[in-house]
Amino acid sequence: MAARSIASLTVSFGLVSIPVKLYSATESSKAISFNLLHKGCGSRLKQQYVCVKEEVVVPRDDMVKGYEFAKDQYVLFSPEELKALEETGTHMAEITEFVPIESIDPVYFDKAYYLAPDKGGAKPYALLAKALAESGRCALGRWAARGKQYIVMIRPVSVPSGSGEMEGLVMQQLLYAGEVRSIADIDLAPTDVKAAELKLAKQLIDAQSSDAFDPSAYADEVAKRIEAAIQKKVEGQEISMSEAPEGGAQVIDLMEALRASLDRKPPSRGAQPKAPEAAAAEGRKPPKRAQAPEPAAAPASRKAKSRA
């Protein structure tokens, strides 16, 4: 299924303007979620807001927004006042500077979007993408949308094509400085590292190194287990409930642990957990079996999807 553009905007740097289409780079719809049901009859539940003082359900028409400036003290804002404070969307991402890509810590990364050239934008798009790739830099700018103003980073990314590779562009929303905590805020005690320990650790890193990150080598095993359990529930079958794994032993001798790690063949990336049958063959306890309850009154064909 072809990707669908979610917006159009213009990327500008200097006197160059590039009309582009915006595509979401991630899919939140892939997440598995559940509805809240009444245990007795299996019907959907709806959310209600209750006044903590009068203990009555408050309809939306009687709700206002307020900011708590002191304990249990609020200043109120009308919808019109909040609307006036919003940033006006300009459909423009204006580049203000170019910086080395490695100078931006990934801890600042937020939502990512793919950019594709819109009508008349193919040539300047390709020019910016190639220039960024060859300079090793990314573009920083501002983008106003949905009433907010965002810092954005536009970076090049290689895209396979019939003639080899071409450069595309990713627009990454960045967090503001006030939204990111400093690692200096946590307690890190100075610790000496012995040369022999460092040497073995580096050897272990070399032994398990790959040339590039391959996201397809990693699968969401929890999601797969949930999907399988849902299907069994729908079909009225029993499901397996595995025991919690035993805690790992405390590492006493760091050097010995490093040597043992080097001697052991490293597992492949995204290695799958062993099946219950394999676990039993190794002498571990097999998972407990639990009979699934009778199907609830909710229709079995209903998808296990809920609102946040």
| Average pLDDT of the segment spanning 231-246 | 68
Tell me what pLDDT residue 229 has: 85
Per-residue model confidence as pLDDT tens digits over 55-86:
999 998 999 999 999 998 999 998 888 888 88
Coil, strand, or helix at residue 149? strand
Give, as one character, the DSSP assignment of residue 37: B
Q: Where are the domains of the chain?
A: 7-26+86-178, 220-240+286-308
Q: What is the average pLDDT value for the chain, to the nearest integer?
A: 80
Tell me what pLDDT residue 15 has: 82
- Binned at pLDDT 50, 70 and 90, residue 228 comes out as confident
Q: Which residues contact 203 (CB under 8 A, 6 or more apart)?
A: 262
Tell me what pLDDT residue 303 has: 41
CATH fold of 7-26+86-178 = Ku70; Chain: A; Domain 2 (2.40.290)
Of residues 92, 108, 95, the one with CA closest to residue 172 = 108
Tell me what pLDDT residue 1 has: 58
Which of 1-15, 18-32, 42-56, 251-265 comes out lowest in average pLDDT?
A: 251-265
Predicted confidence (pLDDT) at residue 97 exceeds the cutoff of 50: yes
Predicted confidence (pLDDT) at residue 308 exceeds the cutoff of 70: no
Predicted confidence (pLDDT) at residue 34 exceeds the cutoff of 60: yes
Predicted confidence (pLDDT) at residue 192 exceeds the cutoff of 80: yes
Predicted confidence (pLDDT) at residue 153 exceeds the cutoff of 90: yes
Between CA 117 and CA 237 the distance in angstroms is: 50
Which of 7-11, 25-29, 185-189 comes out lowest in average pLDDT?
A: 25-29
Side chain identity at 157, as an amino acid letter?
V
CB 155 within 8 A of CB 138: yes
Q: Characterize 71-106 residue by residue with b for buried, 16 or more Cβ atoms within 10 angstroms of its Cβ, and e for exposed.
A: eeeeeeeeeeeeeeeeeeeeeebbbeebeeeeebee
